[in-house]
Chain A
Amino acid sequence: MVKVIIYPTNSLILSDLVERFGHTPLAMMEKIKEKISTVGVDSPPLNITPEEPKMGLKYAAVEVPAGVRGRMAIVGPMIDEAEAGIIVNESPMAFGCMGCARTNELTKFLIRDRDIPVLEVDYPEDEDEAREFVYKIAEFLGSLSKDEKEGQE
Chain B
Amino acid sequence: MNDDAVVKVALVSCGSEYAGVHGELESVAGSVNARLVYPEIDVSILDTIGKEFGIEAASPDLRLMMARAKAVVEGITDVDGVFITSCFRCAEAAIVRNEIRRYIHKYSDIPVISYSFTERTTAATLMTRMEALTTIARRRHLLAREHQSGLTAGIDSGSTTTKAVIMKDDRILGSGWVPTIKVIESATEAFELALKEAGVDREDIQALGTTGYGRFLVGEHFKAQLIQEEITVNSKGAVYLADKQKGSATVIDIGGMDNKAISVEDGIPGMFTMGGICAGASGRFLDMTAKRLGVDITELGSLAVKGMQEKVEMNSYCIVFGIQSLVNSLAKGSTPEDVAAAACHSVVEQIFEQQLQEVDVKEPLILVGGSSLIEGVPKALSELLKIKVLVPPNSHLIGAVGSALLASGYVEE
**A residues with CB within 8 A of B:** 42-46, 48-54, 63-71, 92-94, 97, 99-102
Contact = CB atoms under 8 A, between A and B. Distances in A.
Given A43-B22, A65-B87, A93-B47, 15 more contacts: A46-B17, A46-B18, A49-B20, A49-B23, A50-B19, A50-B20, A50-B21, A51-B20, A52-B119, A65-B88, A66-B21, A66-B119, A67-B16, A69-B119, A99-B18
A99 B14 contact: yes
B17 A45 contact: yes
Interface string B75-118: 00000000000111110110000000000000000000000011
A68 B87 contact: yes
B23 A71 contact: no
A97 B26 CA distance: 25
B61 interface: yes
13 contacts: A45-B22, A46-B22, A48-B18, A49-B20, A50-B19, A65-B15, A65-B19, A65-B93, A66-B20, A93-B43, A99-B18, A100-B14, A102-B59
Contacts of B19: 48, 50, 53, 65-67, 69-70
B331 interface: no
A92 B93 CA distance: 21
Given A93-B43, A100-B14, A48 B20 contact: yes
Contacts of B17: 45-46, 48
A49 B17 CA distance: 9
Interface size class of B (residues with CB under 8 A): 20 to 34
Given A93-B46, A94-B43, A100 B20 contact: no
Nearest to A64: B89
Contacts, number: 99
A142 B281 CA distance: 63
Contacts of A71: 15, 18
A102 B20 contact: no
Nearest to B23: A43
The 5 closest A-B pairs by CB, nearest first: A67-B15, A65-B87, A101-B58, A99-B61, A70-B18
Contacts of B119: 50, 52-54, 66, 69-70
B60 interface: yes
Given A48-B17, A50-B120, A67 B90 contact: yes
Contacts of B46: 93
Contacts of B64: 99
B15 A99 contact: yes
B90 A97 contact: no
Q: Most chain-B CB neighbours within 10 Å: which of A49, A51, A100? A: A100
Contact of B92 (A48, A54, A97, A101): A101
Contacts of A43: 20, 22-23
A80 to B, nearest CB: 19
Q: Most chain-A CB neighbours within 10 Å: which of B87, B119, B120? A: B119
A84 to B, nearest CB: 26
Contacts of A63: 89
Contact of A101 (B59, B86, B89): B59
Contacts of B88: 65-66
Contact of B20 (A70, A93, A99, A101): A70
